[in-house]
């Protein structure tokens, strides 16, 4: 029954290409996270505003991002918008899809964090002579980012894992895409994907451990 010969050498010989893929994976994840945080901030501000349309747009974005599969969002960014004659490269589609997803989840995290900050904090800022924008920028946002640091780390891990979905829109430069291409070439499916899994595991471990290190540095007080 057990007559399968593992050929790790064949797969390991491709390791450099896979590591190049891992770099692209990290690139997409980091970019989507940075842009996602910016959009999440904007969404949070829209939710806090008094304008109904702004609130509705923010709520729609967040609920769609959180209640449909990430894969569907990536499809939408690639095949869906193609109906309007807009054609993105796989890289861009993947980035848009993950960023859309990240922004939705992060905005929800930010909302939870904002709830945990007492109103008196903003008022104290105002009574010290800060403008409302200043008090938001210097009093609320730092605390908000601190409270939502752990959820943000989780989201970063999610972003890394989500990059593997890029292959469905034709992405072949990220870790999963490269592995899939190599698989078509060598047909060492188990060995290649096992190595990819180990690389993903190491990446996520570095992120969580790195975040813990940063957190212990930043939030020492």
Cα(71)–Cα(166) distance, rounded to whole angstroms?
9
Query: Is residue 193 within the footprint of other proteins (CB under 8 A)?
Result: yes
Q: Helix crossing, 90-116 with 52-67: angle to 10°? A: 110
Q: Give the 3-state secondary structure of residue 166.
A: helix
* Cβ at position 19, least distance to other proteins in Å: 16
Q: Locate 23 and state its tokens.
A: 């770099």
> Scanning the structure block, which residue is given the tokens 């290649």?
192
Shortest distance in whole angstroms from residue 189 CB to other proteins: 4
Binding segment toward other proteins, per CB under 8 A, in 9-17, 26-34, 50-58, 78-86 = 78-86
Rg (CA), the chain: 21
Q: Is residue 106 near other proteins by the rule CB under 8 A?
A: no
Select from 40-48, 71-79, 116-124, 129-137 the region that touches other proteins (CB under 8 A): 71-79
Residue with tokens 């060995």: 191
Which pair of tokens denotes residue 82? 């193609």
* 88 is a site residue for other proteins (CB under 8 A): no
Under the binding rule (CB under 8 A), the answer on residue 66 touching other proteins is yes
Q: Is 86 in the site for other proteins (CB under 8 A)?
A: no
Does position 200 bind other proteins by CB under 8 A?
yes
């Amino acid at each position: 029954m057990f007559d399968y010969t593992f050929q790790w050498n064949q797969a390991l010989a491709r390791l450099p290409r896979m590591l190049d893929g891992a770099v692209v994976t990290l690139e997409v994840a980091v970019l989507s996270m940075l842009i996602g945080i910016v959009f999440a901030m904007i969404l949070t501000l829209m939710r806090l505003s008094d304008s109904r349309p702004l609130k509705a747009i923010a709520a729609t974005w967040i609920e769609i991002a959180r209640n449909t599969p990430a894969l569907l969002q990536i499809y939408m960014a690639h095949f869906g918008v193609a109906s309007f004659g807009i054609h993105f490269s796989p890289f861009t589609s993947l980035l848009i899809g993950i960023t859309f997803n990240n922004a939705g989840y992060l905005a929800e995290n930010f909302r939870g964090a904002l709830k945990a900050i007492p109103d008196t904090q903003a008022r104290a800022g105002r009574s010290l002579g800060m403008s409302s924008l200043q008090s938001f920028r210097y009093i609320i946002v730092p605390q908000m980012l601190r409270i939502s640091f752990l959820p943000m780390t989780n989201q970063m891990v999610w972003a890394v894992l989500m990059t593997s979905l890029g292959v469905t829109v034709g992405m072949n430069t990220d870790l999963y895409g490269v592995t899939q291409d190599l698989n078509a070439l060598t047909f060492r499916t188990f060995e290649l994907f096992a190595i990819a899994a180990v690389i993903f595991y190491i990446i996520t471990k570095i992120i969580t451990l790195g975040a813990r290190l940063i957190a212990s540095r930043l939030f020492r007080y």
